[in-house]
Chain A
Amino acid sequence: MRKYGRFKALIACAVTALVAVGCGSMNESNSSGGGAAAADDTFVVGMSADPPHLIRLFLGDVQVGLVGLAMEESLVTVSRDKKIEPQLATSWEMKNPTTYVFHLREGVTWHDGKPFTADDVVYTFENGLGINSGTASLKDMIKSSKAVDESTVEVSLKSPSGAFLAMLNPMSFTILPKHIYDGTDLEENPANRAPVGTGPFKFESWESNRITLVRNDNYWGDKPKYAKVVFTVLGDPTARALALKKGDIDYINSYDVTFEAIKQLDEDPNVKLDIGRASISMKMFPFNTRNEILAKPEVRHALFQAINRDFISKSVFGGYFPPGHAPLPDGHWANSGEVDFDKLYPYDPKAAEAALDAAGYPKQANGIRFSLTHRYEASEPGGEKVAEVIADNWKAIGVETKVVQDDAEVFRQEVFSKHNFDTYTINIASGADPAIGLYRRYTCDNDQNAVFGNATGYCNKSLDELFLKANSANEQAERTPLYTEAQKVIAEDLPTSILVQVKYTEAIRANLTGIEGFFHPGEVVLLDWSKIGPPAA
C-alpha cells in the first residue's frame, strides 16, 4: 500500500513556505534594507511603556517627560552644570524677596503659528498647577501672577523661596498654550495627546504604540539635526536591548535601561553605554522608629554598620552603582562632602555586635538578638538580592530578618499608609531641588507626604527648621552649608541610611554623532535635541 503522499505534500508545502519567507527576507534586507532600521533622518527611541498623554505639566511620568519635553518648554531650564538657565524667559530679576519678574523671549511662536506671550505664562500659573501632585507645592507657593506687558510676567510668592526657580524647570513645569486650553477641561483636552508647544519638535502622529514628531523649522533655538523622531514602545527589557543591538531602535533612555540590560549591552561594540553620569537617585534604607528596638539611634547605627555596602555595590550592581556616602549623592551641589558614611559607619560586624550588646540586646540561647521584617517592591532593580545580602549580614550579628516582597500597590499601602515594616529599600530621586527630594524623606510633616514621604515615624523639629531655612535662602552658596548641617543631623540620627547611589545608564547606538551633548548630566529626560545626529558619512 502506498503511503499518504498527500499529507506529506502538505507538510512539505508548509515547510517550504516558511523557508522561502526566510530566504526572501534575507534577500530583501541585503538589497533594500527592508525589515532593518528606519531612514537616516529618523531617530528611533525605544520606551518601556506607552505614555497616557504627552503633557509634562500634568504628569511626572518618565515617558511623558521623554516625549513631551521634545515639544514643551518652561521659563527656565537646568544647565549641564545644574544651574538655572533661560529657556522661554531670557532673564529675570527679583524685585523683592517674594516678587520675581520674568522677561520673555520675543518672536517665539507655538507650533500652530500663534505667538507665545505673557498671557500663556499667566494662564498656566493660574490654571495648570496642582493637576500633577508634583506641582501642588508650586501652587501653594504662588500668591499671584500677572502680565505686565506682552513679554513680561510678574510672580508674587507667599514667602521667600530659594527653590522657586528650580521648581520652574521643565522637569515639573511647562507652559500651556492659552488659546488651546482656555475654557476647556484641561485634563480632557484633545491636545494632551497631540500637544502644541514651542519646543524643537512638533507633534505629527500617534498610532497605537508609535509616536512621531517632526522638526520644528521655526524653533527659536538650535534646531535638531534629525528631521523626525519616533518613540516606540517595547515593553520587555530584553527585547528592547535586542532591538538596540540590531539597530532597529537608536536609543533607550536610562530610566528604561534595566540593570540586566546593562550586562547584555556592555560587550556590544555597536552600542554605547553612558554610565558615568552623576547620580540623582539613591537606594534608601529607612528604619521604622515606631519599633521600640529601632527607636534607639545606636541600634540603627549598629545595624547599618553591619551591612557590607561595598559588597552590595560590587556583587549586586557589578560595581556600576557606588555605595552611598551621605543623604545626598556625591557631587550634588548641596553636598559639601563633609558627611561620609564610610568614615562614620564603616562596615564592621564586630563593632556592631558590641554596640547591640551595649544597647541591651544580647544574643539569646538560640543565637538571635531580635528579628526584623524587611520589605521591598517586586519591580525594584536589585531589591531581592540586596535583601538577601542584608539578611545574610544581619544573621552574622544575630539579627533575624524576615524578607517580604510586595506588588507595587501593596508595598505603598503597607509601607506608607500602614507603616507595617521594620526596614525597606526604595530608589528615590533627590529631585530638582533638595527642598523637594530630600525634605520629604525626613520631615515631621507627614500629612503632606502620604506617598513616598517619610514613613519612618522619625521627627526632629530642629531638622525641619534647618530644611525650611535652606529652602527659603536664595543662593546656592547660602544653602549648601545649611544642607550640610541637615545632612550631619540625618547622619547622626540615621532614620534612613543610603545603601548605593543609583547611576542612570543611557544606551545608544555608538555610531551616532553628538552623543555627549545630547544627554543631560542630572535630569535624565532633559535631552538636547540639537546635538544628536546621524552617523557621519
Chain B
Amino acid sequence: MLSWLVRRLAYVIPLIWGVVTLTFILVSLAPGDIVTATIGDYPASEEYLAQRRAELGIDEPFPIQYLKYLARVVQGDLGFSFANRQSVLPLVIDHLGATLILVVAATLLAVLIGFPVGMWAATTRFRTIDTTINVLSLIAFSIPTFWLALMGVLVFAINLGLLPTQGINTIGYSGDTFGQAWDMFQHLLLPAAALAVPETALMIRMTRASANGVLNSGFVLTAVSKGLPRRQIIRRHVTRNSLLPVVTVLGYTFGTMVGGSVLVEKVFGWPGMGSLLYDSVQRRDTSVVLGIVVVVAVITLLVNVITDIVYGLVDPKVREATIR
C-alpha cells in the first residue's frame, strides 16, 4: 500500500513540472507585461518603462527567467506579486479557503442531487421520466454558468428578495458562531448552486449511463434469475458498481470547477482564487497567475490520488491490482 502510494505520488512531480512549464510559456506569450498594464493612461518614457522592468527583474531573457522561477518553485517559493506587493503563496492561500468552500459545496450539491436522480433515470420503469431527466440535464449542462448566476441573482435576490446578491457574508454582521455560519450559508447558496448546475447534469448523465451498463451485466442477470427482489439487486449490486465512474468524474470535475469558479466568483464578488486569477491576468501579474496554476494543479493531482484510493476501497478488483 505504502509503496504504491509513493509511486503514485512520484507521478505527480513530472506532471506539476509540465503544468508549470506550459503555463509559464503561455503567460510569457501574452502581449504586454505588468509595467505596461499598471502604467495607466499617463505618459511614460521608454527609459522609465525599461527602468521599471529592470527593477522587477522582468527584463531578463526568457530561459533565465524560467530557470530562476523553477528553482524558486522547488524551494516552495512561488515568487512575489508586483501588483499586490505581497508574496504569492500567502496571497493564494488567503484566497484558497473561499474557493474551496464554494467548490466543495457545489460538489456536495452535484453528488447529492445528481447521483440519486441519475439512478432514478436508469432504473425507472417509466420511459417519460427517463427522457425528461435526460433532456433537462442536457439543457442544464449547456446553460452558461455566467448567465445562470446572473439569473439566480435576478430571481432569488432581486425579485424574491430571499438571498443576498454578493459577498461571502453580510458586511458588519456580528452574531454568534451559528449566526455567522448561517449568514455565510445564505451567501453561499446562490454561487454554489450556479456552479453546481452543470456538474449535477454531468453527474446525472454519468450515473445513468453507468447504471445502465451495470443493469445489463451478467451478475445482475444472475441475481434476477436467482429470484432476488429488484430493490435488493439495485441496492446491493447496481448502486455500488455504478459508483465507480462517478468517483472518477468527481476527481476530474474538481479541476474544472475551480476553473468555473472564476466566473461565478466574479458575479458574486466571492473573495476566492477565481477573482484573484482574473485580476492578475488583467494586470499581467505573472507570478500570481503561475502561483494559482501551481496550487490548483497540486490540489487537483492530490484529489486524483485520493480518488484512486477511494476507487480501490469501492472496487475490490482495483484494490487487488494496485495495492499489494
Contacts and interface: CB of A to CB of B under 8 A. Distances in A.
A10 interface: yes
B30 to A, nearest CB: 7
B271 interface: yes
Contacts, number: 215
Interface string A2-30: 11101110110010000001100110110
A134 B153 contact: no
B150 A210 contact: no
Contact of B186 (A14, A35, A233, A238): A35
A522 to B, nearest CB: 17
A138 to B, nearest CB: 11
Nearest to B284: A409
Chain B interface main SS type: helix
Interface string A399-422: 000000001111011000000000
B205 interface: no
B167 A133 contact: no
B171 A35 contact: no
B215 to A, nearest CB: 12
B81 to A, nearest CB: 8
Contacts of B112: 10, 14
A91 interface: no
A79 interface: no
Nearest to B268: A239
A210 B170 CA distance: 11
A267 interface: no
A328 B230 CA distance: 82
Interface stretch (A119-127, A243-251, A291-299): A243-251
Interface stretch (B44-52, B57-65, B294-302, B303-311): B44-52
Contact of A239 (B113, B119, B189, B267): B267
Contacts of B279: 49-50, 235
A46 B275 CA distance: 15
Interface stretch (A37-45, A70-78, A479-487): A37-45
B310 to A, nearest CB: 20
Contacts of A207: 271
B49 A134 contact: no
Given A134-B42, A232-B269, A233-B275, A42 B123 contact: no
A52 B83 contact: yes
Contacts of A132: 42
Interface in B26-73: 30-32, 36-46, 48-49
A59 B37 CA distance: 12
Interface stretch (B17-25, B156-164, B313-321): B156-164
Nearest to B171: A38
B183 A35 contact: yes
A452 B153 contact: no
Given A4-B120, A234-B269, A239 B171 contact: no
A271 B37 CA distance: 33
Contacts of B38: 52, 59, 61
A239 B150 contact: yes
A68 B153 CA distance: 30
Contact of B171 (A10, A230, A412): A230
Given A21-B189, A52-B38, A53-B85, A239 B153 contact: yes
Interface string A308-351: 00000000000000000000000000000000000000000000
B76 interface: no
Nearest to A2: B231
Contacts of B83: 52
Interface string B147-177: 0011001101110111111110011110000
Contact of A447 (B45, B235, B283): B45
5 cross-chain pairs, A with B, having the tightest CB-CB distances, nearest first: A409-B32, A208-B271, A38-B171, A133-B44, A235-B266
